[in-house]
Chain A
Amino acid sequence: MSLLCVGNSEDKTALKAVLKKLLVLPVTMILVSFLTFAAFEAVSGDPARTMLGTEATEEQVQSLRQELGLDRPFAQRYFRWLGGFFSGDLGISYSYRQPVRDLIGSKLLITLLLSLISFTLITVVSLPLGVISYRWKTTVFNQLFMAFPPFFTGILISWVFGIIFRLFTPGAFPDIYTDTGRALVHLFFGSICLAVPRIAMTVRMLRSTVVSEMNKAYVRTAISRGNDRQGVLKRHVLKNSLVSAVSFLGQTLAELVGAGIVVEQVLGIPGLGRFLVTSILHRDYPVIQAIVVILALWVGLAGVLADLINQAIDPRLRIRQGVVSA
């Protein structure tokens, strides 16, 4: 079987692996959405009654339940939700009585920007640092920066840059559409908070990859044949270290949305994470459900993206994955 596959052209097997990954993604999302739907179903009690308070009459409760479609059986509601999700209808928020899609729109954009800016920051700073750090003996600074939680950095930044230097107003986020410049400055400060510990982690991870790669036999061979260390590092080691770096950064991209929640809270950035927290406090399950599935999509896409890049830079992966997938 495997012989047949190796016989195939490299591109074809790579394509197959990619398609498979993309097919798994919706399945995962449906699974995630079902699990959250079922979990909230189990704990939520009667949302209609909660929304109306204790003084509502039985008729009022009944009519609201009908309005929200809560009188239907669980499976029917789930499939209606699922169908709605794929056609862009995310349901109606319990607390705002508005379509979740309208509530989420700009918040999603803000969270995406926050994650992408900090991701760029992490990549741009940590890749070169990680490579030159293989010669450093100490990693104490790494440990120190890893210990800085984003919410503390956020407070420090809002104290220094917000209260002392007045470069931005921590609590008041400028409108992203009309006041884009200042909004981006605000997001930039937020992304620093996210980036600090993650840059330290990435540098540490890269450093240990480069160090272990430099101890391998092929490096010794290359050096004994008269190449200089620097050249071997540039030509061979970097390429080989890149694969684990890309996987790590993919994982980072996925985790940024989780860490971003706290930063949005600290600096008053009206993103998805902050909305998620208020929705949790108000038990607004349709909103939580929608945000969770969107974030799951984000996490999944980050993983697929990392795999794709890795397959592009490492031919060994293309062949290996082709064999496994067939």
Chain B
Amino acid sequence: MKLKAGLIITAFLLIVALVGLFWTPYSPTAMVSARFTKPCAEHLFGTDNFGRDILSRAMKGLGTTFVIAFTTVLIGAVAGTLVGSVTGYYGGMTDHILMRFNDAVTAFPTFLLALLIVSLVGPGGRYSVILALGLVFIPGFARVMRSEYASLRNRNFVTNARLMGAGDARILFIYLLPNTVRVFLPAFTIGFNNAVLAEAGLSFLGIGVTPPDASLGYMLAEAQGMLAAAPWYALFTGAVIVLLVFGVGLIGEGLQNFMGEVE
């Protein structure tokens, strides 16, 4: 039920974002109407201080948010899985050292860490945001995947594979990886949500995505400046973020429940 609702919400937003890549009701950058037009039939989300159509801008912004969030989680997931699989499967000294380091990093607030990395790489632009957030998400995935690999490594099917002559790489990624899906998928959805929120936060602070790119967080920062004149700008933009995080969160929780039932 939750899974289904989450999938519907997320799929809807994904389609809107995809459509936004090729078509928006108006040009997101052109001044198409009187400034501060209230939401109406022509402009569902109203217009901003330049008379730009907010719906069109939100569609583009949603796309940017999707791309950045997905790429960062992908970086975190791939690198984290590599670290987690090796440390969890082999154990020993490397595992010990890496996990202590991991604990130290994860104790530090994620957002702060991302902020610092952005300040090191040089603020501004989507690539420094992707890099910073991607790096920040590695330890979380590493920890989750490590414990999963560690709990699986002595199972019979692994011993069996080893006896049949499978190499370590084959065991790690062909035999074990598919079995980690139980924790991997929920972790991916949680990571995605954290990425959406962190990117929006960074862009909101003005050190994330910069114009001409517009992410939802950047739009929200813009909207704050005209809160008295055009409250709908902030309301609609924020609502899109909330809907996205809500939808993906439902998928994550639904998946967790579903996997629990399968077991």
Complex interface: stretch among A50-58, A154-162, A231-239? A154-162
Complex interface: stretch among A64-72, A85-93, A177-185, A253-261? A253-261
CB pair A258–B111 under 8 Å, yes or no, is: yes
Please tell me the size bucket of the interface on B: 35 or more
Tell me the smallest distance from the CB of B212 to a CB of chain A, in Å: 20
B224 contacts the other chain (Cβ, under 8 Å)? yes
Question: Which residues from chain B contact A323 at a C-beta distance below 8 Å?
Answer: none
Question: Which residues from chain B contact A144 at a C-beta distance below 8 Å?
Answer: 242, 246
Q: How many residues on chain A are close to B (CB under 8 Å)? A: 43
Given contacts A144-B246, A258-B109, A259-B109, A139 and B241 within 8 Å (CB-CB): no
CB pair A152–B111 under 8 Å, yes or no, is: no
Within 8 Å by CB of A149, from B123, B201, B228, B249, lies B201
Within 8 Å by CB of A259, from B111, B119, B242, B250, lies B111
A43 to B123, CA, bound (A): 12
CB pair B245–A303 under 8 Å, yes or no, is: no
Interface 1/0 per residue, A236-278 and B, CB below 8 Å: 0000000000000001001101110110011000000000110
Q: Which residues in chain B, 163-221, are within 8 Å of chain A measured between CB atoms? A: 193, 197, 200-201, 204-207, 217, 220
Question: Which residues from chain A contact B241 at a C-beta distance below 8 Å?
Answer: 147, 149, 152
Q: Which residues in chain B, 212-244, are within 8 Å of chain A measured between CB atoms? A: 217, 220, 223-224, 227-228, 231, 234-235, 238, 241-244
CB pair B104–A28 under 8 Å, yes or no, is: yes
Interface 1/0 per residue, A35-48 and B, CB below 8 Å: 01001100100000
Given contacts A254-B107, A280-B119, A147 and B242 within 8 Å (CB-CB): yes
A205 contacts the other chain (Cβ, under 8 Å)? no
CB pair A262–B205 under 8 Å, yes or no, is: yes
B21 contacts the other chain (Cβ, under 8 Å)? no
Question: Which residues from chain B contact A155 at a C-beta distance below 8 Å?
Answer: 220, 223-224, 227, 234, 238
CB pair A281–B207 under 8 Å, yes or no, is: yes
Within 8 Å by CB of B123, from A39, A156, A280, lies A280
